[in-house]
């Protein structure tokens, strides 16, 4: 058993790098291109940057809120977090793929790209809940003074993630643009108060 300091530093590092690498997916027009037209034609790249950045940013905030409840770590918990980061660090790839397909690909290509994009967030949502369940099961790693009953209420809304992203992933087969819009809406939903278990004192 150790404290969570270094695990948080490592997770913060991976989050910060993955979110900053997103910019490398935006193509710089060659010097002899029409810059304005080239940037406008690249609109899906900018949209993809925005949605992925905000989604990763919110996942980071919620990871941070979750760890505010936790006061110790062990190797198993660290491994679960590594599994979580496996998908967080993967996000720049489906982001760039999706942007390339939305801009110029076939409908079939857009479907594959969007399934991979939404599927990555589905996997992240599952791992997020695995982190929470491992830490909260029997209050294993939680700070002792917390009100478990209040936390369960928050966790219930928190558990919406996996089914929500599963539906969005399945919808991507039907209409990739609807799925992209829903990923954006889900990002806004996670920002609402009460969407994650919080340290609010019990009444």
Minimum separation from the CB atom of position 65 to a second copy (A) = 7
Contacts of 23 (CB under 8 A, 6+ apart): 49
Question: For residues 170 and 119, what is the distance between their CA atoms, to the nearest angstrom?
Answer: 9
Q: Could you count the other beta carbons within 10 Å of the beta carbon of residue 54?
A: 17
Nearer to a second copy, 77 or 165 (CB): 77
Say whether 70 sits in a helix, a strand or coil: strand
Q: Which two tokens stand for residue 189?
A: 């939903």
Residue 142: strand pairing partners = 70
Binding segment (CB under 8 A) for a second copy, from list 10-18, 149-157, 163-171, 178-186:
10-18
Q: Which of residues 116-155 bind a second copy (CB under 8 A)?
A: 116
**Residue 190 near residue 58, CB atoms below 8 Å:** yes
Sole residue written with tokens 């790098």: 17
| Segment 58 to 87, residues that bind a second copy, using CB under 8 A | 58, 60-61, 64-65, 67-68, 75, 78-79, 82, 85-86
17 binds a second copy (CB under 8 A): yes
Contact status: 47 vs a second copy (CB under 8 A): no
- State the minimum distance, in angstroms, from the CB of residue 70 to a second copy: 12
- Give the distance from CA 15 to its chain's centroid: 10
Q: Would you tell me which residues interact with a second copy (CB under 8 A)?
A: 1-2, 6-10, 12-26, 28-36, 39, 49-50, 53-54, 57-58, 60-61, 64-65, 67-68, 75, 78-79, 82, 85-86, 89-90, 92-93, 96-97, 100-101, 103-105, 108-109, 112-113, 116, 191, 193, 199
């Amino acid at each position: 058993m150790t404290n969570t300091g270094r695990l948080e530093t490592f997770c913060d590092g991976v989050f910060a790098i993955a979110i900053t690498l997103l910019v490398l997916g935006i193509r710089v027009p060659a010097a002899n291109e029409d810059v304005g037209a080239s940037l406008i034609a690249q609109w899906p790249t900018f949209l993809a940057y925005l949605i992925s950045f905000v989604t990763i940013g919110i996942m980071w905030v919620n990871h941070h809120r979750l760890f505010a409840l936790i006061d110790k770590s062990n190797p198993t918990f660290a491994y679960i977090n590594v599994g979580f980061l496996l998908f967080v660090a993967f996000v720049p790839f489906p982001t760039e793929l999706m942007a390339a397909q939305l801009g110029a690909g076939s409908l079939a290509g857009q479907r594959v790209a969007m399934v991979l994009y939404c599927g990555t967030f589905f996997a992240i949502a599952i791992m997020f809940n695995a982190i929470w369940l491992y830490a909260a099961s029997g209050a294993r790693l939680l700070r002792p003074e917390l009100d478990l009953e209040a936390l369960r209420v928050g966790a219930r809304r928190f558990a919406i993630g996996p089914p929500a992203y599963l539906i969005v992933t399945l919808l991507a087969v039907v209409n990739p643009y609807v799925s992209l819009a829903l990923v954006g809406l889900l990002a806004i939903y996670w920002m609402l108060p009460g969407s994650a278990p919080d340290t609010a004192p019990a009444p």
